[in-house]
Amino acid sequence: MGHKHHKKRAAEGAELDVETIDGAANAPMKRKAYEAALKPLHEELVHLQEWVKKEGLKVCIVFEGRDGAGKGGTIKAITERVSPRVFRVIALPAPSPREQSQMYVQRYLPHLPAAGEVVIFDRSWYNRAGVERVMGFCSDQQALEFLDAVPLVEKAMVKSGIILIKYWLEVSPEEQTRRLRARIEDDRKTWKLSPMDLKSYSRWYDYSRARDEMIAATDSEWAPWYCVRSDDKKRARLNVISHLLAQIPYEHLPREPVKLPRRQKAGHYQESDYPFRFVDERF
């Protein structure tokens, strides 16, 4: 099956599910419609994975956006049905003193994909143009030098054979506030809220200016930025996956039919009388 044909089939199937089950396109997406639309996209991601392995493709996906924009959830939606040995997620901590002394992009380079890999950066070298610039961890001059240099670095990446795809997730101030408050109030989400999130929350327009300048300077022909409205998390995830599948030419590889072999007979085996420690069945 050709790439264009099966891409179109997956996208049309997802759209049909949304319109049929969910009603108005602008309404918040219901869980049932989301899962119905996500399933064929997950199937396509598996086909993409097998093609990446066979052809030795090198795919690098960058996710940027404000705190609470939905980067983590989108990445999880992409990776939950594929192999972590092919789809690797990179979320680097703050740089060590040694890393601070290196060329800025140096600590990211070892994580770039080799043949047969898809590497997803949950925040990336663009930290310098965003949080570092806004929060004063680098000077304006350093940020401007970064913006001047990074298109050349990305051009070298693309010339080396890397397929580089960059997403900016755009969340409204109202939805960001709602999500950050949920992190405060829900014990399952408190780990997502860092002191830096709280400091940066008040700097909305500083981040807006930094975003505008970053995208204008680094939206190149060889590594363009793709912006995603993310107030509706479910729609954003579906839109990103559908768009991602359209960026990488791939084919459905033939798969041999699978049949479970016969299980061996017990023969002389007898169940052990050892007192295994089973977990209490509380549910």
* pTM attached to this predicted model: 0.88
Q: Note whether residue 217 is domain-resident.
A: yes
Q: Give mean pLDDT, residues 216-245.
A: 98
Q: Note whether residue 122 is domain-resident.
A: yes
Model pLDDT, residue 193 = 83
Confidence of residue 14 (pLDDT cuts 50, 70, 90): very low
Q: Note whether residue 242 is domain-resident.
A: no
Q: Note whether residue 265 is domain-resident.
A: no
Q: Note whether residue 163 is domain-resident.
A: yes
Look up the domain containing 113 and give its range.
56-231
pLDDT digits (tens, 9 = 90+) for 242-283: 999 999 999 999 999 999 999 999 999 999 999 999 999 999
Q: Note whether residue 243 is domain-resident.
A: no
Q: Note whether residue 251 is domain-resident.
A: no
pLDDT digits (tens, 9 = 90+) for 170-224: 999 999 999 999 998 988 988 888 888 888 889 999 999 999 999 999 999 999 9
CATH code assigned at 213: 3.40.50.300
Model pLDDT, residue 190 = 86
Q: Which two tokens stand for residue 183?
A: 């992190």
Model pLDDT, residue 22 = 47
Q: Note whether residue 70 is domain-resident.
A: yes
How many domains is the chain built from?
Answer: 1
In b/e form, how buried is each residue of 184-213, taking b as 16+ CB within 10 angstroms?
Answer: eeeeeeeeebeeebeebbeeeeebeebbee
